[in-house]
Every structure is written in structure tokens, then in C-alpha cells.
Amino acid sequence: MTQTVRWALLTVGIAATSLVSSVSAQTVQGSVHQLDSGWSLPNGAGPTNWLRLRGDQSVPPRTARHARIETIWVVGGGDAYGRVSTYWTGWEANGGDRSEYWILGSYKPGPQQLGAKVGDSWGGFNLFRGRLWNEQYLSWQTRRAQLSLYVANAPIPTLLSSPSPNTNLASFDDDPNTPGIQIDKNRGTILLSWETGGTSAFRSLIPGNKRVVGHDAFVDDTLPSPHRDVVFLWGVLEINASPVQPSASTSSATWNAFDATTTYGLASVGNTYTLDLSPYNINDIVTVRVIAYFKHDAWYRNDYVLGSSGDVIAAVLEQQFEVIPEPASLLALGVGLVGLLGLRRRKR
């Protein structure tokens, strides 16, 4: 019998890359309803990823200077699903009612981070509004305030490494002295255990979010994503390119909105399959393949699934074995052939 070397091949897929990597520049647009003297838009009304409303003036006595943007909407960009993070901050220099601002309907609020997507909008008289007021009757007074809306793409989970699928197929090798895996057909069946292997999933924080802290002074804040992300890992066993069994379970990792955890583990999953050898002939080559799949569900905030990556192949393990007769049968066959040859010679 001709012995053929059987082999195993591991193909890895999306290690250290995002499940869906397409992103584009994120922008918002504002509708300016009032912009008095002393107020300006340093980056314009948009489209821009950083909408600023800047107030700085020596205000005449008993005079107020107003500015307001009553509608803001996300016009472009985002991650592959159009998701963005918005960061709303404000600052004023003079206290009380002398320098005032309103953001998202609130009076002088602290920093606020909101999840959004392309097409979302906000509106209202006090959406993005500032007021500089000089209460003095005779003197001019310097008044300052600033409002800032910074927009960044939402991060998408990545895999820190590809999983490493494995099986116990080699433990059934009936001819270890020959390269590759040979399995005796007379076994009838083998109990094949297989796994996808485990890995870790990573979702980055969002760096560089501008927060106003003074007159034309900003700091960069690092923030978590304001959206939920869920990643799944499961596997499928194929015999000769035909799917025969899924994994018994699915492993998953979940980041809720504003979850600052960056890394979660994905446990290995698998199953046990009874492989019947009776349909195969001697010298047949059987291919065993374990495919590890990932899927990413991208949520809008914590509210609903906005989109999915679909099934992505992360890694493939392919092994082959040759079906052979029982080694003792081979020996008996060889002895028999030698005996017949000797008998033939004696007859001559």
C-alpha cells in the first residue's frame, strides 16, 4: 500500500484588526439663530468635528450680548455604522448672570457625553446658547464665555489575536511510524473532540476629546464609547467540506455604553462528534476542518442593535487522515504472499 503523508494547516483571520473597519470623518452642522457682537464661531457652523461658540467682549453698560444655535445635527462620518460620540462642555469667566451659557437645555452644566449617529439632531432655544451681560450703569466690563461640542467616531472592537482551533484527531493515529495520520477502518467510529480556541477582544477608549477649561484653553479627555458592543465566538466542524456540527455553545463579550473596560476574554467553545468510518474505502483521504467564526453587533447607545458585521471567519484548522486496513491484517497479508511465492517455487 502507498503511504501518503497527511498534514494539518491552521489559517488565521482577523487577529488585531477590527471586525468591520470602515470609518470616515465625523461632522456636525449647526443652525445659527443669533450671533451678536462679541460672539464668534472659530470653526464655523459646520460641517465640523468641533463646534465652538466663543464670547469675548468689553460690553457696554446695561447691555447683553446673545448667541445661540437652536439646531445641531450629525451630518456625516462615524464608524462603519455611523455611530459617533459627542462631548458637550462649557465655561464662563465672570460668575452669576454676567457670563452665562446653556447646553442641551441645562444651565451651566458640567461635561456631558452622548452617543449619536448620522442623521440625529438636537433642538431647542437653550440647546447651545450664551449670554454676556454688563450689569453696570456707567462702566464697560469684559465678559467671556465659551461653549464646545467635540465629535469623535465610536470605536469598534478588535481581536487581539486569532483563536487557535484544535482537535484530538492525532490521538487516533494507528501508524505513528509513518508521517501524517493513518486511522484503521476497523475502528468503526472515532469520537472526535474539537475546539475553536480562545482569544481576547479589545475596544479602545476615545482619546483627544476637547473640553473647554478657560478662555481659549482646552484639555483632551479620554472617554469610553457611549454605545454598546457585543462580540460572539462560535465554531463549525466540517468533514470533507460539508458542515456536520456546530459548537455546543457560543462565547460572547459585552461592552455596555460608557464601559471603560478595554479587554474581555472570549472562551474557547467546541463539541464532540462521532465520526463513522464505514462509508470510507481503504486509502481514502478524509479532511477534517474546524472553522472559528466571529460576529460583532453594534448597538445604538444601549437601545437597540444598529448593525452587524455578519459572520466573519477568524481562523481555520484543516487536518487530513488516511483510512488504512488493520496493521495486523497487512502483516498477515504479507506473510501469506511470501508463503504463496515459496509454494510456487517448490512446485517448479
Q: Quick one: which of 162, 172, 219 has its CA closest to 196? A: 162
pLDDT for the residue numbered 24: 57
The total of other beta-carbon atoms located within 10 Å of residue 124's CB is 14
pLDDT for the residue numbered 239: 98
pLDDT for the residue numbered 138: 97
pLDDT for the residue numbered 346: 53
Task: Give me the average pLDDT of each 10-residue run along the chain (348 residues).
Answer: 45 47 75 98 97 98 98 96 98 96 98 98 98 97 98 96 97 95 97 98 98 98 98 98 98 98 98 98 98 98 97 97 77 48 52
| Residue 303 to residues 215, 227, 272, Cα–Cα distance (Å) | 37, 9, 37
No. of helices (H) and no. of strands (E), the chain: 1, 26
pLDDT for the residue numbered 12: 53
pLDDT for the residue numbered 4: 36
pLDDT for the residue numbered 6: 45
Give the distance from CA 100 to its chain's centroid: 41
pTM for the model: 0.87
pLDDT for the residue numbered 314: 97
pLDDT for the residue numbered 245: 98
CA separation for the pair 294, 313 (Å, rounded): 6
pLDDT for the residue numbered 9: 62
Give the distance from CA 160 to its chain's centroid: 11
pLDDT for the residue numbered 326: 77
